[in-house]
Chain A
């Protein structure tokens, strides 16, 4: 064989550590996490508050509050605010999720001094103007109506409701009427209770130095609003996860959306890392069993994936795919067969090595450069993980045995414990 077509030896990455980052406590008590570096003269600042849907007293208030934070402040109407930021080529996002509300600024470093006061005002003095709220709500309703015409969206909504329950913050879903019922008063209350230094964290990455840090200390780091006590904890919800099969008539008829899932736990649980590896083998990457069997061997779908999703206080494990309506039961059976196989048979060494190496490469991309790395650290902080959890994850990827994976499969992959949702 000529040298040019001979396979080169593959080198295996065995060790990987979380890059170092700086931490300080700002004058008002908020932690500031910093990672400097990068070849480009740009930086990113993200201020994260534990103020997501988990903490809201009325549906979608957290999401709306976050969205409306960038629609005007007490001194600038929405258009002026947008102009202040965009005239410098910067971008400001404010978003609300299940656990957090976040304000994120991306900018050329040289404009940061002009923008930090604007961000500070967005955080501590948003306007929550009734006119802006109406435009925002009407547009959200329109977008939701479009989403509700997609089988895959309906399937995911039924899945979260079945896994966590209709009223659980991770399970409940919004309807258009919820959006229209939100008042400026709701937004102000949520803001007063949850957008406070005691619930905040600041993450800064990219090219910046002492000058920028000092500006942060003197602005959002010194902000001390009147603290209003509210329901600051996640309520307790019974574990009423459903199992079995549920089929719904969907708006689209050519393909069925299939979601099969179960409740799990937060990432701090001792079985999480092992399940992360097991998930990879089941459906977490292109070389997974579901992808190889159902797409590459049988051609029944364009894509099939499994995921372990973790939130600050819970988690879930689910499989998702779309297939021709007539093939629905065939695909469900094939999925269940792959789950049972992992419960019964040991994973061959070559397959496990492939998943280990893939995951090491994947982790390398997660901590490649200051922006990605600090994003990773941010997720760890939101989910209450210690830095040592990274080493724990690497160790599990390297050390977990086929026997341990089979034990996990026996415990967590029994199809009888999972709910199957079909929308077609």
Chain B
């Protein structure tokens, strides 16, 4: 059980505080309710680029990182389709330093062209490193574009095109900051050994006087339920062929969300899971298989990812897959499978709650979904899922509403790894 206090300051900042006396460290997590789903289709990748700019210093703190490091801390951030999340862990005696820095960049971020230009270059290199220069780096670009037709989930958080990053203007940056980085669009969660009342006093001192700012959010079109089957085949220099099957499913607050979540575990969590056993171990048609959900707030995806075994064709593997799926669509799964996953869930939650920093991050995230107490109740909600629920959702995975993406290896080997240049340094080696 994770105990916490929740407060909302007058300026709209939500504050969640958890006391953990087992650690001398404090974690502060500041979640802004903005992600790539809030971007305009011709300016994608902007939320993530902006996350980088948040480290460019603010009016009273020239460098965010220098001061955090001087205070013995480490900080980082991530952006996804729904949120942008900043976190920092440092000795609890310096909690106020972290709060002061976060408050200063919420109120007075230093927005300037030098910082923008440098981070545009950095993010361009990030795009190359994680997307273009990886054998499967553009999978998410292709799959989201296939599965979504109107919702902004149709582009990935890093951006649809590398050019969008380069085209970002300083005025866009200022406007984005004004629209989304006010206290009323943020959740501050804290975990550490301090008394919650003392932590709250510090939060009020640092954040209390920051004025609320009007949130200017684009309206998002809801993705309609998919009623057609779509296919994308891409032949290229993939090291080996891979099949993705994806179905549109409920978002985090939808009725069937947890049933789909559990279904993905039934299929592929652990080596005793039924699909893994059948496809990889018994039929031996897959070298690798996984089923997972994207877990987004708006309608997400249930994805199966499979790589055929050596000497098995994509067609053969696909045929087996549909047979196996048909088998679990005929009758409810055994109760022992649900029992197993209930134990697994309990264990996962306990191990996650070992760390105060995980608790701070989880409290912030659950609060963004509407209820920080999900940190304590989510496992129960999953435990309530019945075999009948699983049976109902597995029957929503059909051939007439599936997105099929086949990546076919063309067997072409570019870059054979040959040595092309070698020389000794010209300088003389000095004797040590």
A is bound by B:
yes
Interface residues of B: mostly helix, strand, loop or mixed? Answer: mixed
Within 8 A of A (CB), among B59-95: 59-61, 65-67, 69-74, 89-91, 93-94
- In the complex the two chains form, is B344's CB within 8 Å of A89's CB? yes
- In the complex the two chains form, is A299's CB within 8 Å of B70's CB? no
Q: Mark A1-19, 1 if CB is under 8 A from B, else 0.
A: 1111111101111000000
- In the complex the two chains form, is A38's CB within 8 Å of B271's CB? no
Does B231 interact with chain A (Cβ within 8 Å)? no
One of B176-184, B386-394, B414-422 contacting the partner: B414-422
Contacts of A247 in B (CB 8 A): 419-422
Does A237 interact with chain B (Cβ within 8 Å)? no
Q: How far is the CA of A255 from the CA of B425 in the complex (A)?
A: 24
Q: Mark A139-166, 1 if CB is under 8 A from B, else 0.
A: 1011101101111001000000000000
- In the complex the two chains form, is A40's CB within 8 Å of B69's CB? no
- In the complex the two chains form, is B100's CB within 8 Å of A415's CB? no
Contacts of A353 in B (CB 8 A): 70
Contacts of B336 in A (CB 8 A): 87
- In the complex the two chains form, is B347's CB within 8 Å of A90's CB? yes
Contacts of B59 in A (CB 8 A): 5
Distance in angstroms from A362 CB to nearest chain B CB is 7
Does B331 interact with chain A (Cβ within 8 Å)? no
Does B354 interact with chain A (Cβ within 8 Å)? yes
Which residue of B has the minimal Cβ distance to A358?
Answer: B69
- In the complex the two chains form, is A79's CB within 8 Å of B281's CB? yes
- In the complex the two chains form, is A107's CB within 8 Å of B347's CB? yes
- In the complex the two chains form, is A302's CB within 8 Å of B125's CB? yes
Contacts of A417 in B (CB 8 A): 429
Q: How far is the CA of A88 from the CA of B122 in the complex (A)?
A: 46
- In the complex the two chains form, is B419's CB within 8 Å of A285's CB? no
Q: How far is the CA of A358 from the CA of B20 in the complex (A)?
A: 22
Does A24 interact with chain B (Cβ within 8 Å)? no
Contacts of B284 in A (CB 8 A): 135
Does A376 interact with chain B (Cβ within 8 Å)? no
Which residue of A has the minimal Cβ distance to B73?
Answer: A361
Does A248 interact with chain B (Cβ within 8 Å)? yes
Q: How far is the CA of A285 from the CA of B65 in the complex (A)?
A: 10
- In the complex the two chains form, is B125's CB within 8 Å of A301's CB? yes
Distance in angstroms from A260 CB to nearest chain B CB is 12
- In the complex the two chains form, is B309's CB within 8 Å of A364's CB? no
One of A95-103, A185-193, A226-234, A365-373 contacting the partner: A365-373
Does A58 interact with chain B (Cβ within 8 Å)? no
The listed residue (B94, B240, B340, B348) touching A86 by CB distance below 8 A is B340
Q: How far is the CA of A249 from the CA of B284 in the complex (A)?
A: 35
A-B contact pairs, 16 of them (CB 8 A): A4-B205, A83-B272, A86-B272, A89-B340, A90-B347, A107-B347, A138-B287, A148-B239, A149-B237, A249-B420, A253-B133, A255-B129, A361-B25, A361-B74, A364-B72, A415-B427
A residues contacting B by CB (< 8 A) are: 1-8, 10-13, 37-42, 78-79, 82-83, 85-91, 106-108, 111, 135, 138-139, 141-143, 145-146, 148-151, 154, 206, 243-255, 285-287, 295-303, 322-324, 353-355, 357-358, 360-362, 364-365, 368-369, 371, 411, 414-417, 423
